[in-house]
Chain A
Amino acid sequence: MSLTPEAIAALVRPDSVHRRLYTDPDIFALEMQRIYGQAWIYVGHDSQVPNPGDYHTTRIGDQDVIMVRDTNGEIRVVYNRCPHKGAQLVAAGSGNTGKFFRCPYHAWSFKLDGSHLAAPLRKGLIDTNYDPKHPDFSMRPLARVDSYRGFVFANQSPEGEDLLSFLGGVTTSIDNLCDRSPVGEIEVVGGVFQVMQQSNWKVFYENLHDTMHAPVTHESSFMAARDKAAEQGEMPFELLIMDGNGAPWEFWEALELVAYPNGHGYMEAIFDPAAATRDPVSRAHFESLSKVHGEDKAREILGMNRHNTIIYGSGSPHTVFQQFRVIRPVSVDRTMIEIQTFRLKGAPAEVFDRAITYTNIINSPSSNVMPDDIELYRRCQQGNATNGGDWVSHHRYVGTDKTTEAGMVSTNGTSELPMRNQFAAWKKFMLQTPAQENRHVA
């Protein structure tokens, strides 16, 4: 079946999607062009490249790219390809390339913005069509690069809305993450985990706001934490963050799920202004913010108690414990998650200790919580490959979501609004033809 606009549109219903969205390699290839080729995708945080010449390699969809800080301090994003023979300019990872990139194959060199600098034995190129000023002889930059409060995004398409319009209301989560620092700045430190999931990338996005799975999927870990806490007569932070999934149905129903255009959104934890003064770490954090902003503002910042935020196509920041689970699609049934941890500049050291502990316990490959998620994503991938049925249900509370100025909000915390919102964005991008596709045809 060819992927005509009509065929694509028919795969997404208001309350369900066709299983091919998760299993068809042709759809995955088209997603790389139409979603990862047109949406703004998180590349990295500017703290990962603090000095000129610092670079960090990463991926936008199926494209290897380099984030680099140029000699003027500006951040550039270029494809990791030498225009000569096509070799990757730098190996995967981070480093400092000095004042220019130099290809390890034939020593063609490029300025930090990717433009051509020199090729050795130039006389051999005289009287040819070699033109150092022509883009064919430079590293190609991403069509658009922009950042919001240190979060660097790139877009492979020269057309479409700007970064701020694309993000819409989800900037409130980025703001809150940064505002938790008394000086309003954060940095990626303490290392990054990379975890491979044996499932399609969209399954993880759906799961991030799927409140109905928590008490079912995570029974083994919240019961282990709960039993241990009962035995020792206390529930320290390490166990508390595993225990939460075992909350009763009423808890989940009372939560609010907020959806913004382009598939973004967040899931609210219980709003509790007193949380800011209850435990010693939060109290120290509250005091450090109060000194700068006063108590009311400090209470407002720490009172914005959100669980997972979703920036569709990029991943899931967690504001309260300063993480970003960056979601990188690898193939139709493989997805790599990169887990970054942030330090809030100027905040008490124990706030970062808590972030590291949260990363280790919840988001590490050895997490006691995540294996049951990953197992279920894999089972969805396997189950959707069978002929046992064609549709994946997102029916919960369909038609009851309320429209707000910035997007939509659930009337019940177990609503599948987030999934419906994500697939509305999926459909929108998949029905748009990127400028690059047109160029290839022409």
Chain B
Amino acid sequence: MLLDRTFDVSTVPVAGASLPAEALQSVQQFLFHEARLLDERRFDEWNQLWAEDGRYWVPRRHDQENPFDHVSLFWEDAMLRDVRVRRLNHEHNWSQQPPTRASRLVGNVMVDGVDAAGHLIVRSSLQMTEWRLEQRQFGATVFHKLAATDDGGWKIVLKRVNLVNCDGVFGILEVFF
């Protein structure tokens, strides 16, 4: 359920995390790979990066506490992410003709610590240039909560995108940040 209030949306670490250099590099590569999949509109593959119950969240307010008592620009579980991808891929998606093109620059990657369930909390900066009929520029601080997988990889448990203009006036937002 989308408004399941037991879902831990906090990105404040409960403990620190010290990662070996290789692990830190694998986190960075994971974020770069994620941005690349979105840039190349490989949305189905992007959806495979998520933990089963993972949530994608773009708050409407700075310092918004939760997505339950307040509207959000995005608050999507696996079902809604999949519906969005199906719509983006539909041949009669009038507002995607021509499609949205975007380039994402991910940097300033830092591991902040872990949450109560032991997920890694990673902070990064995002610059995204988007083109569809006109150019738009987005800037955001992004928090990923990542769960380690058995094969040494990562799955996204939470992706929180804090847009610098989250409380502004928007045109339509069709693709993921």
Closest Cβ neighbor of B87 among chain A residues: A224
A225–B80 alpha-carbon span in the complex (Å):
9
Q: How many residues belonging to B are interface residues under a CB distance threshold of 8 Å?
A: 33
Contact with A along B150-177 (1 / 0, CB 8 A): 0000000000000000001111111000
**Given the contacts A224-B87, A353-B3, A366 and B92 also touching, CB distance less than 8 Å:** no
Contact with A along B123-157 (1 / 0, CB 8 A): 00000000000000000000000000000000000
Q: Verify B60–A371 contact, CB threshold 8 A.
A: no
Inter-chain contacts of A198 with B (CB < 8 A)? 171
Q: Verify A228–B82 contact, CB threshold 8 A.
A: yes
Contact with B along A359-379 (1 / 0, CB 8 A): 111001111101110111000
**Given the contacts A190-B69, A360-B75, A368 and B173 also touching, CB distance less than 8 Å:** no
Question: Closest Cβ of chain B: how far from A93's Cβ, in Å?
Answer: 9
CB of A419 within 8 Å of the partner chain: no
Inter-chain contacts of A194 with B (CB < 8 A)? 168-170
Question: Closest Cβ of chain B: how far from A180's Cβ, in Å?
Answer: 19
Q: How many residues belonging to A are interface residues under a CB distance threshold of 8 Å?
A: 43
**Given the contacts A193-B71, A228-B82, A360-B72, A372 and B170 also touching, CB distance less than 8 Å:** no
Question: Closest Cβ of chain B: how far from A230's Cβ, in Å?
Answer: 11
CB of B73 within 8 Å of the partner chain: yes
Tally A-B pairs: CB < 8 A. 106
- Which of A242, A357, A365 contacts B3, CB < 8 Å? A357
Q: Tell me if A's interface is mostly helix, strand, loop or mixed.
A: helix
Question: Closest Cβ of chain A: how far from B7's Cβ, in Å?
Answer: 14
CB of A191 within 8 Å of the partner chain: yes
A220–B73 alpha-carbon span in the complex (Å):
20
**Given the contacts A191-B71, A366-B73, A228 and B94 also touching, CB distance less than 8 Å:** no
Question: Closest Cβ of chain B: how far from A271's Cβ, in Å?
Answer: 29
Inter-chain contacts of B96 with A (CB < 8 A)? 220, 371
CB of A195 within 8 Å of the partner chain: yes
Inter-chain contacts of A359 with B (CB < 8 A)? 71
Chain A residues packing against B (C-beta within 8 Å): 189-196, 198, 217, 219-221, 223-225, 227-228, 232, 236, 238-239, 242, 336, 339, 341, 353, 356-357, 359-361, 364-368, 370-372, 374-376
Chain B residues packing against A (C-beta within 8 Å): 2-3, 58, 60-61, 68-75, 79-80, 82-84, 86-87, 90, 92-96, 168-174
Show 13 A/B contacts (Cβ-Cβ < 8 Å), sorted by A: A191-B60, A191-B71, A217-B94, A220-B90, A232-B79, A236-B79, A356-B69, A357-B3, A366-B58, A368-B87, A370-B172, A371-B95, A374-B171
Sort A-B residue pairs by CB-CB distance and give the 9 closest, nearest first. Answer: A375-B95, A371-B95, A224-B86, A365-B170, A220-B90, A220-B93, A224-B87, A194-B169, A366-B173
